[in-house]
């Protein structure tokens, strides 16, 4: 009996090919891709952000067509160019921030010349008592100082002669004005009631006569040159108040001495001046 022959099988390995685990990995990657595609399909796209992104990309690549009005836009059309084309400026106005100043308007500061300040201060110092009892008032603005005499303290009704008690006061005014330069205008005023007098034809005559009486006292002692002084009669013009009441009419009957652009020495600061500014 013949002995059995043992045959040895030799396994032959195939060279090359993918490992066995790659199939599982490919399936997993495909599932993940499908999952993210589903997420993207359910998500809502921000059209404005997409257009802005497409706009910036179009500018960067020099494209003429940017985004179509439909959602998602149209494909970008590239242009071969050496330079980048910038978007045309829009004519629509942009909303700009508006600055609101709630502090209110700052009040204007009136600058008064030193000569006017100095003259007003000297007159106030000399005539404090008369200013207190309202026989006269002293006002000023940027061009002149005005000494205003009331009719009740200076004249009798319908007359042009100065009351004797006012003559020393006018002398005090002369002493101050003689130390300062500037043209002097003396003007007489009345109310709107027509005068009945054999001496004066109208309020013009009366107001002019009263102004001349004051001028006469100013230049009488020659301390003030006559060339500096002007007399004017202005009747019922330029009233201080409407001629509707006896009190207002009495206020309008007056004589004013205006000193234009005075120049004095030893000026004082404006803040120390206790007089009022003309409106």
Residue 66, pLDDT above cutoff 90: no
Q: What is the pLDDT of residue 36?
A: 86
Tokens of 95: 């909303």
CA 229 to chain centre: 40
| pLDDT tens track for 17-47 | 678 888 888 889 999 989 888 887 777 666 6
Q: Which long-range contacts (CB under 8 A, 24 or more apart) does 162-166 make?
A: 162/213, 162/214, 162/217, 166/135
Q: What percent of the chain has pLDDT over 70?
A: 67
Domain ranges for the chain, please list them. Answer: 22-81, 114-277
- Range 114-277 classified under CATH 3.50.50.60: no
Of the listed ranges 97-101, 198-202, 259-263, the least confidently predicted one is 97-101
Residue 251 vs residue 19, higher pLDDT = 251
Q: Is 37 exposed, middle or buried (0-12, 13-18, 19+ CB in 10 A)?
A: exposed
Q: What is the pLDDT of residue 175?
A: 92
Radius of gyration of the chain (CA): 51
Half-sphere exposure of 233 toward its Cβ, with a 13 Å CA cutoff? Answer: 14
Place of tokens 């026989």: 135
> What is the rounded average pLDDT for all residues in the chain?
79
| pLDDT tens track for 155-212 | 998 999 999 999 999 999 999 999 999 999 999 999 999 998 889 999 999 999 999 9
Tokens of 257: 């001495």
Q: What predicted TM-score, i.e. pTM, was given to this entire model?
A: 0.57
d(CA 205, CA 159): 11
Residue range 254-276: average pLDDT?
A: 70
Q: What is the pLDDT of residue 79?
A: 47
Note the maximum CA span of the chain. Answer: 191
Residue 234, pLDDT above cutoff 90: yes
d(CA 114, CA 78): 77
Residue 133 vs residue 12, higher pLDDT = 133
**Spatial contact of 137 and 152, defined as CB atoms under 8 Å apart:** no
């Amino acid at each position: 009996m013949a002995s059995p022959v043992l045959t040895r099988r030799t396994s032959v390995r195939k060279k090359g090919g993918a490992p066995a685990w790659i199939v599982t990995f490919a399936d997993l990657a495909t599932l993940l891709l499908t999952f993210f595609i589903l997420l993207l399909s359910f998500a809502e796209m921000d059209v404005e952000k997409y257009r802005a992104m497409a706009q910036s990309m179009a500018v960067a690549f020099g494209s003429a067509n940017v985004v179509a009005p439909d959602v998602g836009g149209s494909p970008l059309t590239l242009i071969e160019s050496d330079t980048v084309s910038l978007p045309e400026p829009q004519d629509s106005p942009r909303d700009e921030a508006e600055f609101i100043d709630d502090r209110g308007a700052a009040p204007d500061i009136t600058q008064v010349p030193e000569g006017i300040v100095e003259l007003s201060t000297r007159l106030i110092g000399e005539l404090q008592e008369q200013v207190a009892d309202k026989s006269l008032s002293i006002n000023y603005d940027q061009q002149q100082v005005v000494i205003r005499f009331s009719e009740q303290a200076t004249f009798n009704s319908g007359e042009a002669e100065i009351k004797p008690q006012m003559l020393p006061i006018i002398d005090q005014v002369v002493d101050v004005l003689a130390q300062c330069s500037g043209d002097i205008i003396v003007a007489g005023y009345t109310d709107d009631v027509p005068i009945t007098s054999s001496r004066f034809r109208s309020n013009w005559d009366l107001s002019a006569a009263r102004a001349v009486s004051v001028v006469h006292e100013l230049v009488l002692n020659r301390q003030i040159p006559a060339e500096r002084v002007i007399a004017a009669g202005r009747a019922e013009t330029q009233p201080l108040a409407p001629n509707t009441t006896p009190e207002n009419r009495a206020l309008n009957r007056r004589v004013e001495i205006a000193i234009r652009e005075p120049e004095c020495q030893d000026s004082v600061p404006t803040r120390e001046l206790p007089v009022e500014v003309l409106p």
